[in-house]
Amino acid sequence: MLHLRVISPAGSTEQALERLRAQPGTAHLVVHRGAALAPAGDLIEADVAREAADEVIDQLCGLDIDHHGGITLEAIDTALSDAADKAEEDAPGESADAVVWEELLSTTGEESRLNATFQAFLVIACLLASVGVITDSPVTIVGAMVVGPEFGPLAAVALGLVLRRWDLLRRACLALAVGFPVAMVVTGLVTLLSEWVGLLDVTDFRSGHQAVDFVYDVGWYSLIVALLAGAAGMLAMTSAKSAALVGVFISVTTVPAAGYAAVAAVTGDWARSLQSLGQLVVNLLGIVAAAAVVLALRRRGQRVRAAGRSLSTG
């Protein structure tokens, strides 16, 4: 269940209440007349089944409440109520299959911004990857995969393409286009400094590795893994099963490839540096392509179900 909070202009409140009452996935409807001060209006609260949330938001936005008032949603961890149980039973579809598009836009929009926090996580992840490739440590490589924040902008690129939200697409592309080069430059400089002070020995790196060769060894399986990871990641985001995202992070070699490319360039191994860059590009494109396909299919399925409900009630 999701908790819905609406600040409605007084003139739109009755229409909003009428639409909420008509929605079978709504329970615990409450109205506070004149409670809202900025913007002024009435406060409406309700609990909404996740599978009905997207339709509810569309109906409220049809009253321009998103422009003249406000609409917020938050997840409910526990709801002990027969009314809530009935709302979930009456709402069409399954909660796990429901996509709340405004929620997804909000989440990806926030995670795709180029800011100090995003850049810091990406730099730290690339530095971890550089230590992993120099010391031939797969465990450290896995740590870099988990720390890397790149899936947020990649999901935003896919969402921007599917919904034709060019503002979101531009913001996400900027985060990736600036974030990765900056992280790789910092990683290269730190690698040089570490070698100079004797903190890291790159002799073993120059002589070759075995355990972490998968980072730069680009091939068909690189693309297959990226496609599967992109599909799984978007399914996790759209179904609110965030625990599955950890597996997605560990399965792709975006950040490790960036770190490997930086270290290989510093040590003069341009062949492996270019291979690592190829691995990075393949992973980025594969994740975006698969995520976009999943979103497009889920959007199409949602429209088909909505059309079927309209015909059955018509």
Inter-residue contact 177 to 190 (CB < 8 Å): no
Phi, psi of 43 (to 5 degrees): -105, 120
Instruction: Identify the architecture of domain 2-98 in CATH.
Output: 2-Layer Sandwich (3.30)
Residue 16 has pLDDT above 70, yes or no: yes
Taking alpha carbons only, the member of 161, 141, 152, 71 closest to residue 119 is 152
More confident residue, 311 or 129: 129
Cross-strand pairs, 36: 41
Percent of the chain with pLDDT over 90: 44
pLDDT 10s digits, 18-77: 999 988 889 999 999 999 998 999 999 999 988 888 889 989 999 999 999 999 999 888
In this prediction, residue 80 carries a pLDDT of 87
pLDDT band at residue 248 under the 50/70/90 scheme: low
Please check whether residue 111 is in contact with residue 176, taking contact to mean a CB–CB distance below 8 angstroms.
no
Predicted local distance difference test score (pLDDT) of residue 71: 93
Whole-number Å distance between alpha carbons of 202 and 268 = 11
Name the average pLDDT for the chain.
86
Give the pTM.
0.82
The mean pLDDT of 286-303, rounded to a whole number, is: 87
Helices (H) and strands (E) in the chain — how many of each? 14, 4
pLDDT score of 309 more than 60: no
CA–CA distance, 30 with 44 (Å, rounded to integer)? 6
Strand-by-strand arrangement of the 2-8 sheet: 26-37, 40-48, 2-8, 70-75
